[in-house]
Structure 1
Amino acid sequence: MTTFDDREQGFERKFVLDQDLEFKATARRNRLLGEWAAGLMGLETAEEYARAVVKSDFEQPGDDDVLRKVAGDLKGSGVSVSESEVRMKMDELLAQAREQIKAGA
């Protein structure tokens, strides 16, 4: 094998690892978001709601399905939180989830 082949394989392994970590961070973010929203709504089944939020991410690519679910559920339960506030919380929790994963938590 040449040095070029070794570098190419190294880049491919890093890409796969980065994609795996991002998938885990997004799933963790969604769980944290679900727990946050469940707390705002006063739900006793926060873990169950958090799982529903994680599942909602598999409906279509991107974060819009999660945003719609959480913002809609909050609005439906009478909690006054805008979509932009939910989006900001999603960004904050994604950064937190990435740090937790990097720390091995």
Structure 2
Amino acid sequence: MSTFDEREKGFEKKFALDAEQEFKAAARRNRMLGEWAAGLMGLEAVEEYVRAVVKSDFEQPGDEDVLRKVFGDLKDAGVSVTEGEVRMKMDELLAQAREAIKTEG
């Protein structure tokens, strides 16, 4: 196997690992976001709501479906929060999730 082939395989492995870590970070972020939103809404069935938030991420690629769900639920519950605040919380929690995954691995 040539050096080029070895480097190519190395890059492929790194890409796969990065993609897996990003998937895990997004899933963890969605769990934390669900817990945060459930707390703001005063829900007793927190785990059920968290599962619904995580599930909403599988409807379409990207974060917009999660944002729509959580923001809509907060708005329907009468919580005074803007879409921008929810988006900022998503970014904050994603950074926390990425850091937690780095320290675990």
The TM-score range, normalised by the shorter chain, is over 0.9
Correspondences of 1:2-41 after superposition (within 5 Å): 2-41=2-41
Aligned amino acid, residue 45 of structure 2: T
Secondary structure at the aligned position of 2:97 is classed as: helix
The alignment of Structure 1 onto Structure 2 pairs a total of residues equal to 105
Correspondences of 1:48-87 after superposition (within 5 Å): 48-87=48-87
Measured on the aligned residues, the alpha-carbon RMSD in Å equals 0.9
Unpaired segments of 5 or more residues in structure 2? none
What TM-score do the two structures reach when normalised by structure 1?
Answer: 0.98
Secondary structure at the aligned position of 1:103 is classed as: helix
Moved over 6 A (4+): none
1:83 Cα shift? 0.4
Secondary structure at the aligned position of 2:33 is classed as: helix
State the distance in 2 between where 1:49 and 1:65 align: 15
**Identity within the alignment, %:** 78
Paired position in structure 2 for 1:97: 97
Unpaired segments of 5 or more residues in structure 1? none
Aligned amino acid, residue 15 of structure 2: F
